[in-house]
Amino acid sequence: MLYITMVACFLAAILLTPFVKKLAFKIGATDQPNKRKVHQNIMPRLGGLAIYMSFLIGIFLIRPEESFHWPVLIGSLIIIATGLVDDVREISPKVKLAGQIVAALIVVVGGDMNVTFINLPFGGEIQFGIFSIPLTMIWIIGITNAINLIDGLDGLAGGVSTIALLTIAGMAFIMGNDYVLAVALITACSTIGFLFYNFHPAKIFMGDTGALFLGYIVGVLSLLGFKNVTFISLIVPIIILGVPISDTFFAIVRRLVNKQPLSAPDKSHLHHCLLKTGFTHRQTVLLIYAMSAMFGLTAFIFSFATVWGSLIVILAILIAIEVIVEKIGLVRDDYKPLLKAYNEVKTVLEKAR
């Protein structure tokens, strides 16, 4: 039944997207080109509605019976409504954040999915106490906005989200979590169908309707799929979402270093930096897909590694991220502490010979 549902979601997205495109032009849900954006023409930006409608078809077909399913669905409806209004009328960041907070609160409290404590790898545990609900909400809201932030090139957010969803589905299959497996796969298939119209050169954007929805679903499923109380299960979803999380983290660092407001828009995100280095639009998207896939593969390796092996994997990931950040100037062109240290050590060794 799941295979039939996946095909139905994929075909539904392909069939529904042209109708959503017409609707977007009709109600004024369009994206105007400006100096911050890559596209040069007016584009419809309601594509996420096609993904969501296909997702709902899949949900109707599989009919989950888990107690937390309805809070997840109600939260998704609030997220979609928030994104849809923003795509049509461009609401303020505060109003958009308010919608995300309400959606996260419903799914965390109503679905009882807050993480109350974690076991540490070398013994002991951390109790979150009264902070368990806000910390869980921050995770969902953070991932929601991380996906939204990378939605800057044709097919980028959709592809990265799909890779994350397929990784989560693979982990859920191994762990025997049927709900996360099914929802991740139907969301991924719905997104793949939409990508036929969204990959470069795009005919329609997913808009905040799609980016917020995908971020919300990825955030929620990563909680449901890895809601064990171990340090390892806490790190796995962070690795899976390595690309959007690191891009968001360094966007915050960049704005602090440059003394800019955290909400200030710029053209220095990962995809912007790769474009500046000479990669084409399509090459940049495919390169970030490859990065996302590598993070997904690393998450699988990490989940089966020993504690010391896990620590080595984390260290390797952090070094690799830092090198890439410095190479492409993700924080600032002159921000190269690790590369400078490497060059200094290299110079000393060469002189010592």
Q: Cα torsion for 118, 174, 134, 53, to the nearest 10°?
A: 180
Residue 148 marked ligand-binding: yes
Using CA atoms, how far residue 62 sits from 76, 97, 141, 182, in Å, is 17, 31, 27, 8
Q: How far is CA 315 from CA 47, 60, 311, 318, in A?
A: 38, 43, 6, 5
Residue in 193, 306, 331, 305 with CA at minimum distance from that of residue 249: 331
**Long-range Cβ contacts of 37-42 (<8 Å, 24+ apart):** 37/152, 38/152, 38/153, 38/275, 38/281, 39/154, 39/202
Annotated binding-site positions? 148, 208
Annotated binding-site positions for Mg(2+)? 148, 208
